[in-house]
Chains A and B, each alone.
Chain A
Amino acid sequence: MKKQKWQNSTFIYIGFIVVLAMIPFINDSRSLLFLIMQIFIFGIFAMSYDLLLGFTGIVSFGHAMYFGVGAYSVAVMMDSNEATVMYLILGLSAAVVIASVVSFVAGILTLRLKSHFYAMLTLALAGLFLVAAEKWRSVTAGSDGFIIMIPDILRDHSTMYLLCLSVLALLFFGLRRLTQSPLGKVLIAIRENEQRTESLGYKVVHYKVIASVISGIVASIAGGLYVLTLRFVDTSVFATDVTLDALLMTIIGGVGTLVGPIIGAALIEIAHHWLSDLSDVHWIFERWIILFGTIYILAVIFFPKGIVGTLAEKLGKRRKQRKKEAEQSKKIAS
């Protein structure tokens, strides 16, 4: 029965992906495609964040560093060599390697301690990366940033769009499989009751480090895609704002789910886009972050489980009620 359900949801997701894949053939508007690509990229990034926050229960304040590592690895590789697909792949591989080393080190240093140590260390490390990117001008060009060339094949924004979509789909199904695997179930158990997981004979630290590394790798891929769509990189990819965006998207969308962060990313990117456009109407819209702060507070108070979590709860209740009614009517009939 469970298997059946699993397949059903897969079909729904595949349906969504097909619809999304058709968009560039229907509407070729550059700004629309760009907006959706940003949603995809931040969706990937927020998913990787949720693997830590929502599934394992680890708070990270420095997730931007993996994003930035991904962004700079790709950008520098393409800039110092030719802008070909081969160097793009090399750049992405470098991103994955560096991100996994950094996340592994951050993990083994602090994950055996209480969670806030990880939060603090990642915050410090991300700060370090930001400063390094600003000072190491020969490579990063500091806060001025630099423009990069991208492979010819990706110059067409429909192709780029499809690339982002397929990476998102791949990572989504991959991460979903991961969270439903035996290892994923242990991660959830750690979130629920760390001490009990330990006493069942699981080595909790190993699992947390694994989660940290996978999350770092996925985040670095998001960073790599980000510079490809912008064709420009500067130190803002390491900024704390990037981490906060991921946190916001995850919480608004729904902690502990994979669809939630994507929906959260969509909402925030769209809101960002529209609110910035409204800055002609009133100056407050230029400071849209103020509005977001308010929304954030309201969301935490009234929808602590996020959009997906709240919806799932409502649906679950209704299903239960229906079941109860069915049972009652059966009783009456018998």
Chain B
Amino acid sequence: MSLNLGNIIFKPTEQYHLNDITLNFEPGKMYTILGRTLSGKTTLLKTIAGLLSPDSGYIQFEGKDFLAIPVWQRNVAMVYQQFINYPHLNVKQNIEFPLKQRKMDPNLIEKEVSDAIQKVGLKGFEERKIQELSGGQQQRVALARSLAKKAKILLLDEPLVNLDYKLREGLREEFKKLFIGSEASQSIFVYASTDPLEAMQLNGDIIVIDEGKILQTGSAKDVFENPANAKVAEITNDPAMNLNKGKIDNNKLILNNEIQFNLPSNLQSMPSGDYLVGIRATDLYLDDQGFDFQVDISEISGSETFLHLHHQDTKCVATIEGVKSYEVDEHVKINFDLSKIYLFKESGELHYSPYQN
């Protein structure tokens, strides 16, 4: 029943779009592909759907060679980032389109379609034209269409990214309910996202992808606590984890000639040498005893303020509780929560995580 991808390579131009992808998907589980824009998320989903054929590698589903099956016979469902529906059909016709295509029994179609409409909360909109719906409703139609199909593989390509904030929050909750609960649980869900927060909230397995390469796979907790390398630490945090060159020398952690700490107990055993020192924005805090940083930009995000700071060569972003305004070049005192420091080797590999035991 599982879906296996092996050594998938897709290189339409000079650059790799997918570089040696090997993955296993189990039914009834939710997978989140987390990566930046152009990292290969959509390409990977389209390859699974069959819209793109890889240059080499294999895809197996239920023991069969998936690559030999054309898209229209694969029984997958895909929801796009753009709101893609059939503009010449109304809501109901849109949702029943794939079922009719499959020549299902009309009574059964009727039932499935009204079920799906009920689930996504579009009751009463059946006869509406697609153009008469709001963005959120259009995406619900696309969602209902993919639900009604009861496809064994469901691919969601940043389905919420074009919606406004409020709607996004609401729909994301519904997503989890729709897909993880109920009878659909024998399907494989693959959800692509650029948003680390979204990936954490969906709480499935996370696949971190960058430049067409898989960097890490694991549970949300695992990826959050033990990012395999500095790149993963950047991608899986928003704002990205602060990474600065530093070294351990003489029982001290040195970022530059002023920012220096006595090694805390948890780092005592670390060998001396050069490291990339990582710390999350949330683990920096305002402290009168702290170091003197200069503000580059301050941005307000919801109930928090992101401060982009620098001190000599050391740059970092700090998340400050509450909405506060800072002038550019203003000086602030910032301190580090040393118990949350990550150390990466200069090559980028994780050397020490505060969650390691």
Q: Is chain B found bound to chain A in the same assembly?
A: no
Footprint of B on A, CB under 8 Å?
Answer: none
Footprint of A on B, CB under 8 Å?
Answer: none
